[in-house]
Amino acid sequence: MKQLEALVQQASGALSPAMASTSAPSTSHTMNATAIATPAAARSAATATTSQMARDGRASAAATEQPIQWHAKGASTTPASLSDDETEVARVMQICNACRYCEGFCAVFPAMTRRLEFGKADINYLANLCHNCGACLHACQYAPPHEFAVNVPQAMAKVRVQTYSDYAWPGALGKLYKNNGLTLSVALAGALALFLVLTVAITGGLLHEPLAGNFYAIFPHNTLALMFGLVFVFAILSLGIGVRRFWRDVSPGTASGAAVAEATHDALRLKYLDGGHGKGCNNADDAFTLLRRRFHHLTFYGFMLCFAATSVATIYHYGFGWQAPYDYSSLPVLLGTVGGIGLLIGPAGLLWLNLKRHPLQGDAAQRPMDRGFIALLFLTSLTGLLLLALRETSAMGLLLAIHLGVVMALFLTLPYGKFAHGIYRCASLLKWSIEKRQPDGLKLGSD
């Protein structure tokens, strides 16, 4: 068995670094000939190639290891130069496209098979179509420790955050995705400070005589509406401009009603977190779980109910002149309470799953962004529910300031944090729904 161990060490140990150093970016058949790995090029490497051995008539068992040659980057044929992370997706997609075992899991692989080359736009599209479910990592015969070191979810995650930042508007703020945990913390601290100071300035202290839940005794309604309205409109504008640029680059074609309906359905159901078989996605290991899908549903629909509560309240205020505070059994409070509970359980569950996630899954560098966003959502809900529960006490002003601070931080960072994933994901889902209805130009013989 010593011999066996030696073989394994030789094969896996020796080749892994070689892979890293020789892995070159890819495009498929049309690349620059000089950049392609040729037998002659391989021969110049330290290891003897098989053909050389054959010609020399040399016979030596187990000496046929060769450095791995990936498709070379052909600058002349690549429309835009690829970043390192995009290059890795191109490399991985080139391997996946020759294997295709994962085509049943999600939309990424069927979309991949419609392509032979992976340019920048294709890579950005596929990266955002990936839901990070993780199934293809555990199923992959080329995943680490294999020397091909294929890790689709991780490669896609790295490119995703890059697309958010590349397409961010204004462009300079794209940097906020880097060290996003810091961005969120600063936004939160700043917004909290703002509202605490305002509260003190207005009421002369953080505690006050009970005000029967009348927020507007502290912050006039129009002031709040203006502040949050502006920030919210800016967030929408910023994300809208970003995704519009993304959409143009992936050149989607025209959306039919059916395509829009399907994309909407797939987004609202989180279809691609079902694993393709309905058992869910992977989290801690190769077992499937529906928990991420369910916690995400609680988070998303909880958020939407809270949003609906605010919208209904706004209509009450401006449409009917009905002023807050609203009764516990009123529509805005009911919507907000139910949504708030969802927005407590959902993010708490997602955070728990995130902490338990398999180390090879996703991009570890993005954990602060993911967890920061989750924490902000959780705090939004927690402070909102506390405010509701204690709105008739003397702590209302303090709780209101904290809640408004948290919500302000959430709104401020919407275009520069994890929230962006939903926007770009929806755009990619729509692109896929359009694309799959178009004829496939390739006539590949299947296996």
CA dist 314 to 1, 307, 321, 441, Å? Answer: 74, 11, 10, 51
Token pair of 78, please? 């690549």
Smallest separation (angstroms) from another protein to the CB of 38: 5
Query: Taking the alpha carbons of 213, 219, 220, 222 in that order, is the dihedral positive or negative?
Result: negative
Token pair of 390, please? 């204690």
Instruction: List the interface residues with another protein, window 54-83 (CB under 8 A).
Output: 54-55, 57, 59-66, 68-72
- Does position 287 interact with another protein (CB under 8 A)? The reply is yes
Interface pick for another protein out of 89, 136, 404, 427 (rule CB under 8 A) = 136
Smallest separation (angstroms) from another protein to the CB of 1: 5
- Does position 99 interact with another protein (CB under 8 A)? The reply is yes
Near another protein by CB under 8 A, which window of 93-101, 183-191, 382-390, 420-428?
93-101
- Does position 132 interact with another protein (CB under 8 A)? The reply is no
- Does position 4 interact with another protein (CB under 8 A)? The reply is yes
DSSP tag of 11: I
In sequence order, the 6+-apart residues with CB closer than 8 A to the CB of 356 are 283, 284
CB 56 within 8 Å of CB 63: no
Continuous segment of H or E residues that includes residue 372: helix 367-389
Whole-number Å distance between alpha carbons of 368 and 376: 12
Smallest separation (angstroms) from another protein to the CB of 239: 34
- Does position 426 interact with another protein (CB under 8 A)? The reply is no
By beta-carbon proximity to another protein, the closer residue of 25 and 342 is: 25
Token pair of 100, please? 């295709």
Instruction: List the interface residues with another protein, window 148-167 (CB under 8 A).
Output: 148
- Burial (CB count within 10 angstroms: exposed 0-12, middle 13-18, buried 19+), residue 222: exposed
By beta-carbon proximity to another protein, the closer residue of 50 and 314 is: 50
- Does position 446 interact with another protein (CB under 8 A)? The reply is yes
Closest by CA to 142, choosing from 35, 242, 68, is 68
Whole-number Å distance between alpha carbons of 18 and 11: 11
Instruction: List the interface residues with another protein, window 213-232 (CB under 8 A).
Output: none
Number of residues that bind another protein (CB under 8 A): 76
- Does position 135 interact with another protein (CB under 8 A)? The reply is yes
- Does position 7 interact with another protein (CB under 8 A)? The reply is yes
- Does position 356 interact with another protein (CB under 8 A)? The reply is no
By beta-carbon proximity to another protein, the closer residue of 8 and 197 is: 8
Smallest separation (angstroms) from another protein to the CB of 133: 11
By beta-carbon proximity to another protein, the closer residue of 109 and 246 is: 109
Instruction: List the interface residues with another protein, window 17-56 (CB under 8 A).
Output: 26, 28-29, 31, 33, 36-40, 42, 49-51, 53-55
- Does position 13 interact with another protein (CB under 8 A)? The reply is no
Interface pick for another protein out of 21, 44, 46, 141 (rule CB under 8 A) = 141
Instruction: List the interface residues with another protein, window 230-249 (CB under 8 A).
Output: none
Near another protein by CB under 8 A, which window of 251-259, 269-277, 327-335, 379-387?
269-277
384-393 long-range CB contacts below 8 Å, 24 or more apart? 384/306, 384/336, 384/340, 385/337, 385/340, 385/341, 385/344, 388/333, 388/336, 388/337, 388/340, 391/213, 391/215, 391/325, 392/210, 392/212, 392/213, 393/210
CB 30 within 8 Å of CB 77: yes
